[in-house]
Structure 1
Amino acid sequence: MTHASQPNCAPIGRILADRVLPGFQRTQKLPLRISCLGTVSYAGATDADYRDRSVSLGEAASPEAAIALAALRVSRGNLGPGEDTALRFEPRLIVIQDSALGLVLAGEIRAGIILWQQPVANDSEARRIVIEASRKRGMAFAASGRGDHAAARVLRFGAALLEARLIDPLWRETAAELLRLPQAA
């Protein structure tokens, strides 16, 4: 007697490797950390006085909870680095990382909302982004050396925005699913 395999049945090893283990690995990297990247300066500061700063916004137990917390903090404008009222903070990016500092999701802050960046589709796209971001960082370094601090800051932010797509491979599928638009009713 010959056993015919079902074409739509996957072997148990493949199911474990493709579905169960990645989910288990993701739970091992919780909680997720949410932070805001931006620039700080004091009133009356010159372009040379602006500094890049990362501000911790909290932790979450899931990507969905992290997105909700980030959206709440951005909508309320609750992103500042502290109680110093003379210190100005210009928020630029929201970053969600796992406990091993793997990038889960990142997005640009514009007009009180977060424009989440689509994760790279594959490793070759990731390599292209790394090359372009490195080029921009080199240009920023050169601009800073010339004393053009405003241009350097713009170039550094452009590089960071590109790098926001460099989602850790473990989280790429999850991030892509979270960013899919709901189907129209």
Structure 2
Amino acid sequence: MTLSGQSRVVPIGAILAHHVLPTLQRAQKFPLRISCIGTASYDGMDADGFDHIVTIGECPSPEEAMSVASRRIAGGDVRVGTDHMLRFRPRIVVIQDCDQDLVLVGTIRAGIILWQQPVASDAEARQIVTEASKLRGAAFAASGRGEHGPARDYRYRASQLEARLVDALWRETATELLRLPLAA
């Protein structure tokens, strides 16, 4: 009997550092909160709309949070309050842990959440922060000129970029979740 030169024993310290400790750290960050960012406006007054955040709920796992968010968005079941004249146009769904770190973010198109791939590295995250800061600067300038529609569009584009800024602790989990057929 010969042993293959390919067999490899992984040191217990590496297993602890790469698998057990991150899992324990994530376990301390539950429940996850689901929010929706969008534009609220009264019937027939879309030009006077304003940015608004609606809390959808809390969940014990990222998978369940994705499922709840998808059902609520697909069913058009996200409202600002009890005022039936106030309409809400959802644009972005955000899943955060109890420390408000980003777990996963998705943009909304035609009642479907398009979950965003998290950044792969800190260098990529820095590039996104730089680009988003430029867009937010353009939004501030447009708002100062009274151009509220374009300002909102700049802020939305910045938010779309920032959607990829998942906390480093959650990046691997988010990437794995987006590989699942359920996430498509």
Fold similarity call, TM over 0.5: yes
Cα distance, 1:7 vs structure 2: 5.6
Which residue pairs with 1:37 in the alignment? 37
> What SS does structure 2 have at the residue aligned with 1:81?
coil
Cα distance, 1:41 vs structure 2: 1.6
Taking the TM superposition and a 5 Å limit, the aligned residue runs for 1:19-38 are 19-38=19-38
1:125 aligns with 2:124: yes
> What SS does structure 2 have at the residue aligned with 1:152?
helix
Which residue pairs with 1:138 in the alignment? 137
In structure 1, give the amino acid aligned to 2:28: Q
Higher mean displacement: 171-180 or 7-16: 7-16
List per-residue Cα deviations over 1:88-144 (Å, max 9, x = no partner).
111000000000000000001111110000000000000000000000000000011
Taking the TM superposition and a 5 Å limit, the aligned residue runs for 1:96-111 are 96-111=95-110
> What SS does structure 2 have at the residue aligned with 1:83?
coil
Which residue pairs with 1:71 in the alignment? 70
In structure 2, give the amino acid aligned to 1:38: G
Distance in 2 (CA, whole Å) between partners of 1:181 and 1:46 is: 37
Distance in 1 (CA, whole Å) between partners of 2:8 and 2:176 is: 23
Distance in 1 (CA, whole Å) between partners of 2:115 and 2:79 is: 20
Are residues 142 and 134 of structure 1, via their aligned partners in 2, closer, same or farther at CA, if it must alter by over 3 Å? same
Cα distance, 1:46 vs structure 2: 6.2
Distance in 2 (CA, whole Å) between partners of 1:181 and 1:98 is: 21
Are residues 25 and 156 of structure 1, via their aligned partners in 2, closer, same or farther at CA, if it must alter by over 3 Å? same
In structure 1, give the amino acid aligned to 2:67: A
Q: Which runs of 5+ in 1 are unaligned?
A: none
Are residues 75 and 89 of structure 1, via their aligned partners in 2, closer, same or farther at CA, if it must alter by over 3 Å? same
Cα distance, 1:17 vs structure 2: 0.6
Cα distance, 1:6 vs structure 2: 8.2
Q: Which runs of 5+ in 2 are unaligned?
A: none
List per-residue Cα deviations over 1:147-174 (Å, max 9, x = no partner).
1111001000000010000000000000
Distance in 2 (CA, whole Å) between partners of 1:89 and 1:125 is: 32
In structure 1, give the amino acid aligned to 2:35: S
1:172 aligns with 2:166: no
1:18 aligns with 2:18: yes
Cα distance, 1:74 vs structure 2: 0.8
Instruction: Write out the 4+ residue segments of structure 1 that deviate beyond 2 Å after TM superposition.
Output: 43-47
In structure 2, give the amino acid aligned to 1:172: R
Are residues 158 and 124 of structure 1, via their aligned partners in 2, closer, same or farther at CA, if it must alter by over 3 Å? same
Root-mean-square deviation (CA), in Å? 1.5
> What SS does structure 1 have at the residue aligned with 2:119?
coil
Distance in 2 (CA, whole Å) between partners of 1:29 and 1:180 is: 23
Distance in 2 (CA, whole Å) between partners of 1:161 and 1:138 is: 15
> What SS does structure 1 have at the residue aligned with 2:161?
helix
